[in-house]
Amino acid sequence: MSGAASYLARRAVQKERVRILYRRALKDTLNWAVHRHLFYPDADALRERFDANKNVEDIETIDRMIADGEAQYNKWRHPDPYIVPWAPGGSKFTRNPTPPSGIEIVYDYGREDH
Amino acid sequence: MASALRAAILGHVRVPVVSSGSKLLTPLWIRSMSSHDDHLEKSQVIDRVLDIVKSFPKVDPSKVTSEVHFQKDLGLDSLDNVEIIMAIEEEFKLEIPDKEADKIDSCALAIEYVYNHPMAS
């Protein structure tokens, strides 16, 4: 039955979108509320918002809600998020790349060999 | 004449440069002093990951072993899974891409991912 398979495939895609959206929203919440004692209540509130819609069954409604959620996330994105230094966007990214192989530096300190 | 004398003295004093092309001659301690190498032991990784999972409020600490599946064995939600992976990222100072993070489903996968990551510290 291709109907059931495509339905399940759509639901699986939706679940993945929800997980990725929750992950980004949680990181964003941590970016906005830097201190942990502010982050924990905000994270709980975010989790409540996700959990309130946990049992929706209609696939179109779910799609609409995910699109709404992503729009809200895009509206509230932090302008200067914390990124781990060596990751792309961080401060150490490509700071000291390894030199290309085959280059040999001759340390002769100005000695005159001729 | 002075230049010949100078050249003779320099030829006597100068240390000839030997280019060691073979990698076998580089001693092992050179890498151990590099600031880039922060290699974690597997036992350390296992201990820290299990501590994170045990301190999760919705998890029963006695059930946590290194082969536990988050959603099947511990009865967690997929969103709880996301939270655990975020905690692991913060603990090991990693940045896991979203697609990779979605696939980490159990303690064993998490330990393996962290252990194989070159920048875990």
Q: Write the pLDDT tens digit of every residue in A22-31.
A: 999 999 999 9
pLDDT at position B32: 47
- Return d(Cα B106, Cα B56) in angstroms, integer: 14
Q: Spell out the alpha helix ranges (H) of A33-58.
A: 36-52
The minimum CA-CA distance between A4 and chain B, rounded to whole Å, is 22
Main-chain phi, psi angles of B21, to 5 degrees = -80, -25
Q: What percent of chain A has pLDDT over 70?
A: 98
CA A79 to chain B, closest CA, distance in angstroms equals: 18
Helices (H), strands (E): how many in chain A? 3, 0
pTM over 0.80: no
Distances (CA, A) of A44 to A26, A96, B72, B120: 10, 40, 23, 28
Phi, psi of A65 (to 5 degrees): -65, -40
Q: Which of B9-18, B23-32, B80-89 has the lowest mean pLDDT?
A: B23-32
Output the pLDDT for position B35.
Answer: 55
